[in-house]
């Protein structure tokens, strides 16, 4: 089973981790002007922060198929995790290797929350994803 320790004592990456890491590997190869409009390549330190954030998520979230985000490179060299379901939206932008900016939005429920947090604030990240997936 993914995430269980193997004979070496190390747990292999989950399917969730592998999928996100594969997307991050592709994003890491983007060169200047990847969007034909002058975009910067994604900062390698931001990609590393994204990997750390994903690896820090609890296994129960990684096993929830609704928790899989879109991974979107941003023009200014950072990246964003996005979840969308109708008008319900969660966006977590890694602005710098040490900060995330999130938007939690669901107009039908009167929810609009936006804030900047430390990239190490795993509790907030987990809370936001739990809100989106309905845990």
Contact call for residues 94 and 50 (beta carbons, < 8 A): yes
pLDDT at 2: 47
pTM for the predicted model, two decimal places: 0.88
**Whole-number average pLDDT of the chain:** 91
Which one, of 25, 119, 41, lies nearest residue 74 by Cα?
A: 41
Higher per-residue pLDDT: 44 or 1: 44
pLDDT at 65: 85
pLDDT at 29: 97
Neighbours of 125 (CB within 10 A): 21
Q: How many domains does the chain have?
A: 1
Task: Choose the weakest-confidence range: 31-35, 46-50, 58-62, 103-107.
Answer: 58-62
Domain assignment present for residue 55? The answer is yes
Contact call for residues 12 and 3 (beta carbons, < 8 A): yes
> The domain containing residue 109 runs over which residues?
15-133
Domain assignment present for residue 38? The answer is yes
Domain assignment present for residue 119? The answer is yes
pLDDT at 135: 72
CA 26 to CA 96: how far, in whole Å? 19
Contact call for residues 83 and 90 (beta carbons, < 8 A): yes
Domain assignment present for residue 52? The answer is yes
Contact call for residues 114 and 107 (beta carbons, < 8 A): no
pLDDT digits (tens, 9 = 90+) for 38-91: 999 999 999 999 999 999 999 999 999 889 999 999 999 999 999 999 999 999
């Amino acid at each position: 089973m993914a995430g269980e320790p193997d004979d070496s004592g190390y747990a292999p990456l989950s399917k969730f981790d592998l999928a996100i890491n594969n997307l991050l590997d592709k994003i890491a190869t983007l060169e200047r002007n990847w969007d034909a409009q002058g975009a910067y390549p994604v900062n390698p330190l931001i990609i590393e922060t994204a990997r750390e954030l994903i690896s820090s998520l609890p296994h129960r979230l990684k096993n929830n198929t609704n928790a899989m985000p879109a991974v979107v490179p941003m023009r200014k060299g950072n990246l964003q995790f996005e979840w969308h379901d109708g008008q319900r939206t969660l966006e977590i932008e890694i602005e710098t290797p040490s900060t995330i900016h999130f938007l939690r939005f669901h107009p039908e429920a009167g929810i609009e929350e936006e804030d900047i947090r430390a990239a190490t604030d795993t509790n907030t990240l987990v809370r936001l994803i739990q809100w989106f997936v309905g845990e």
